[in-house]
Structure 1
Amino acid sequence: MITLAIAEDHQALIDGMKLFLNSQSDIQIVGEANDGDALIELVRSKRPSIVITDIRMPKRDGISATKIIKEEFPETKIIAFSMFDQTEAVEQMKQAGASGYIMKNSSLQKVLEAIRTVDKVGKYFDDAILTIDDLTKEVVILSAREKDILRLIGEGHSSQDIADILCIGKTTVDTHRKNIIKKINVHGKTDLIRYAIERKYDF
């Protein structure tokens, strides 16, 4: 059984991952944290076999937290989870002792693949870290209304909330959501939320 801890300062991302990973019979999520200090305490108390951690977090970043965890629990495998694909960030995580690195815009299936690969062979580094990932490179043209809706999704609002805020029908919001999903080429509600959270300050 793979015991897993997740550290990420956006709770919606944790919730989406938990919803997917809880259905996997070989993985048990033993805890979650929203900052680096909480992650260290979580690892000390639960001793997970694998940790997925964001690089940029409050109080203590993932790089610093990884160093401390690997010093205290060298057998714990750590996968960095971030939008930062710069060589420097990857190298810093490797030097800190990370066993893997995946992008936040990866599909949940790829997250699962990374967890299982690190558990079995010890390492997993996403090909996207070597190049500019497709979602960043691709020019996505959204209408003003679609940008408003994407921003509100990133702030955690439901379709009904967005409809009330923008004074439009919920059906209209749902239609816009479907169009946004097609334009940005993600798969389903959870991936859309992840995309929106990471880009909510871009519009």
Structure 2
Amino acid sequence: MTTNSEKEDLQRYLQAARDALVWKLDGLSEYDIRRPMTRTGTNLLGLVKHMIGVELGYFGPTFGRRVPDLPAWLRSEELNVDMWARADESSADIVETYRRTWAFADATIEQHDLDAPGFVKHWPEDRRDVTLHRILVHVVTEIHRHAGHADIVRELIDGAAGMKAGDNNLAPGDEAWWAEYNDRLETAAREAHHA
């Protein structure tokens, strides 16, 4: 495999996760995309907002690129400010900012070879010197983790599940099959608990 095709593979996985994360917002109300669904506040729009900061940071300053039009919330000292959206922050603006972030990140990826050096100031000293390859693997891993969070959160909100529009990547069962399947899992869990 050539370095070019390795970079293309990593970028393809990156874009697939980006698309999946944004797709999880489709068809939901402003309330549903913002509401906390876990004790730690995990919410769909917050996951998108978080990835803006991740991609801008890792594909900007890490490789000596200044981020144009840095969102004000990224300059804030507020803890977890990137994990939720205020009522006055437009979801459409956040999604559009994320799409512009893709273009910024993709330009960094395009301009550099996989072995291009970078520096991550906030990482432990012995790991701060990185390459584009290392950062791509890191970001692809992180976004797929958050896309998985979004998948579960979306299913909790309205039952919708799956990998992408037209390909849910789930067993082909109908509602009755899924109900029976869940009953089997519940029975197995109870039996294991009492064994």
Q: Shorter-chain TM-score category?
A: under 0.3
Higher share in helix: 2
Normalization by structure 2: what TM-score?
0.27
Q: Which has the larger radius of gyration?
A: 2
The answer to which structure, 1 or 2, has the higher relative contact order (CA under 8 A, 6+ apart) is: 2
Which structure features the higher share of strand residues? Answer: 1
